Amino acid sequence: MEWILVCTVAFGASILTFFSGFGLGTMLTPVFLLFFPIEVAIASTGLVHLANNIFKWFLTGKNANWEVVLKFGIPAVLAAFLGSWILMNFPEASPLFSYSLFTHEFEVFPLKLLISSLLFLFACVELLPYFKKLSFDKNKLYLGGILSGFFGGLSGNQGALRSAFLIKFGLSKEAFIGTTILISTAIDLSRLSVYSAKIVELKWDTNGTLITAAILSAISGAFIGNKILKKVTLHFVQNMVATFLLVLSLLLGLGIV
């Protein structure tokens, strides 16, 4: 059962998130949590995410806009470290409120509600016709990188904020996907140093086969996503990003993720 569930989610999520630039970790972590302790689940998801990004790099990296990668990506990585440091060194805030749903208790924290509101705003901007032609100038790349990296490090939702900014910089669908993948891979490599101790403790003789199967499933999904890319439009990619932003904002706002 665990094999079917983990591999199916890794495969399906990889196809969907190929276009949005985020979401694989958000979908896969809860599935790993069903079978592993939290530290093992997070480290396992990180490995799958990195391996999938490296494979996508080979598929689409040539389409990346290097001006955007450098001007957006470097500030994003640096600001992500700052956001992560604040998250790890400041006391956790008390929840604003909590509620029960289907015997489960959910808590809504101030930071997640803030990030939820931001993502909801970006989703509305992307979906409403009035804002369809809105775009950012290249001189806003640094600011976009700093804001997405900082709040991403602070909340753990790097990819959603990154895609929300980059989709409005006037990139082609190929350049958008290639650029987001390069930046995401750089952030994955920086996060991997944090997970390194946990990766060593993963008990590869017990868990290695399932993690490898998840990696191969995600890579297969990315391969199919790349084939589908040739048949979709930029409008489809924009709507995919907006839909994922909207769903994630609701899940965060409700305290589910």
pLDDT in tens, 113-157: 887 888 888 788 777 766 666 666 777 889 888 888 887 777 666
**Percentage of the residues of the chain whose pLDDT score is greater than 90:** 18
**Sequential DSSP letters for 97-160:** EEEEETTEEEEE-HHHHHHHHHHHHHHHHHHSGGGTT----GGGHHHHHHHHHHHHHHHS-HHH
256 three-state secondary structure: coil
Average pLDDT, rounded, for the chain: 81
Q: What is the pLDDT of residue 216?
A: 94
- For the chain, the distance separating the N- and C-terminal CA atoms, rounded to the nearest angstrom, is 23
For residue 95, give the DSSP letter: P
Q: Which two tokens stand for residue 107?
A: 């808590």
Q: What is the pLDDT of residue 92?
A: 64
| Cross-strand pairs, 101 | 104
pTM over the 0.85 mark:
no
**Residue 37: how many other CB atoms lie within 10 Å:** 11
Q: Which residues of 201-228 are buried (b: 16+ CB within 10 A; e: fewer)?
A: ebeeeebeebbeebbbbbbbbbeebbee
N residues, the chain: 257
Rounded CA separation 81/192 (Å): 13
Given a cut of 80, whether residue 193 has pLDDT beyond it is: no
- Residue 201: pLDDT band (50, 70, 90) is low
Rounded CA separation 112/54 (Å): 29
Domain limits of the chain? 2-253
Judged by average pLDDT, the poorest of 15-19, 163-167, 198-202 is 198-202
Which stretches does DSSP call E strand in the chain?
A: 97-101, 104-108
Given a cut of 90, whether residue 252 has pLDDT beyond it is: no
Estimate to the nearest angstrom the gap between the alpha carbon of 241 and the chain centroid. Answer: 11
Rounded CA separation 152/143 (Å): 14
35 three-state secondary structure: coil
User: pLDDT (tens digit, 9 = 90+) per residue, 19-70?
Assistant: 888 888 878 888 888 887 766 777 788 788 889 989 999 999 899 999 999 9
| Residue 180 and residue 24 in contact, taking contact as beta carbons nearer than 8 Å | no
Q: What is the pLDDT of residue 40?
A: 74
Rounded CA separation 113/160 (Å): 15
**Residue 34: how many other CB atoms lie within 10 Å:** 11
Place of tokens 């995919």: 240
- Residue 224: pLDDT band (50, 70, 90) is very high
Q: What is the pLDDT of residue 82?
A: 82
| Residue 126 and residue 242 in contact, taking contact as beta carbons nearer than 8 Å | yes
